Structure formats: C-alpha cells, structure tokens
Amino acid sequence: MAGCWFIPDPEFAAIISSMSIPSGHGRCLNTSSPLQLMTMTTASEKKLTILSIEDDPDIASLIRLLIGRAPAELLSAHHPTEAREILADLTPDLILLDLMLPEINGLDFLEELRGEERFVKTPVLVVSVRTDAAHRQRARELGAFRYRVKPFSPASLRHDIQDALSVDWSEYWQEEHSASTTKYGPVIEFILLYSDELLSRLAVARCDATQC
C-alpha cells in the first residue's frame, strides 16, 4: 500500500502520530500488521546469522528494518530464555544485545555466554539506553565489540554491524534506499528519515516507564 506505514502497536502509533511529518508523506496507522513482516531479505540471500536480543518490540522491529536487504538471517529473542533456546543449536556470526532485559541483566547474560567456549570469540554489539561508565567498562571487560547507546542513527548501527562482521553491505542498503517505488518503499523511506526521532522518543518513553 503505497504511502502507508504499518505500526506494530498502539503506543508506537501514538508516537508517530505526534510527530511533525511533511504533508507529502501519507500515513496509515494499521496496528494489526506487524512491522517485522516487512523485511526485505530473501532466503536465497541469507549467508550470515545475526541474533538480536531485545525485549522492546518496537526497537526489535526497527533493527529488522535497518538490516533490511542485507544477506543475513536475523533471529530475534525477546528475553534471555528465548535466546538460550536459539543458541542451543546455533552459533551466530553476531549478537546484538540489549542490557535492560527481563530475568537477567544483559551484561550478566554476556558473561554467561563467554563462559562457553563456542561463544568466546562471537562478536557482541551492546545496544542500550544505559550511558554510565560502569556499564561500558564491564562490557569492554567481557569483550563486547562495541557499545552503541540508544537512541542510535541507522547509519551508526549499520556501520557497527558491518565492522563487526567485516563486510560491506552498502550496495544492498543503497538499493533499498532507492526502492521508493516498491511495495515497501514508503516504510523504508520513513525509517531512514525519522528513525532518530522515533528512537529518541521510544527511549524516553521506556525510561519513564522503568525509571532507568
């Protein structure tokens, strides 16, 4: 549906509705269509495996859209127990790790992973709203590849992912950026244009809710 964006839940829809979006962009708030179904990656392109451990469904959906057409399989876990189930049969090429997780702190989970030989060298990109030096220091001590603070820009997260995997996916993302005439072009355009503001508002909303 050209000119429309499908919003994963009412809270996220309300945030987008409050934003100042130019009149040239149409907006259809459909909370019944999950954003994660709009990934552009096809089975034939999958080569590397990325595991995203993120309990916020809005951020998880944004990460999926930002990875987009890149030749990788993105798996998502919303809590550590789900992540453990996935990792029981898989050693991913990269792990994106939130810190404010249910059940266990993300850094404690990272320490648990490093205790298993097969995960000792797995690059882990920490993505968190936490900005204090103590969390950053412990992440470094546990061998985190990089510490990316929320809200992040699409370019910065994509840069981190490429660095961690030693790949250049710019051609895939350039094609995606130019795909404004495709079925999901408006969604991609929207994310690229407004993700900074979206992530900032989401981070503030989550912090208000959790007193982080």
| All structural domains of the chain | 40-182 (3.40.50.2300)
> In this structure, how many other beta carbons lie within 10 angstroms of the beta carbon of residue 97?
24
207 three-state secondary structure: helix
Residue type, 152: F
Residues 41-54 have pLDDT tens digits of 343 444 899 999 99
Across the chain, mean pLDDT equals: 76
Residues 63-109 have pLDDT tens digits of 998 888 889 999 999 999 999 999 999 999 999 999 999 989 999 99
Contact 69, 43 (CB under 8 A): no
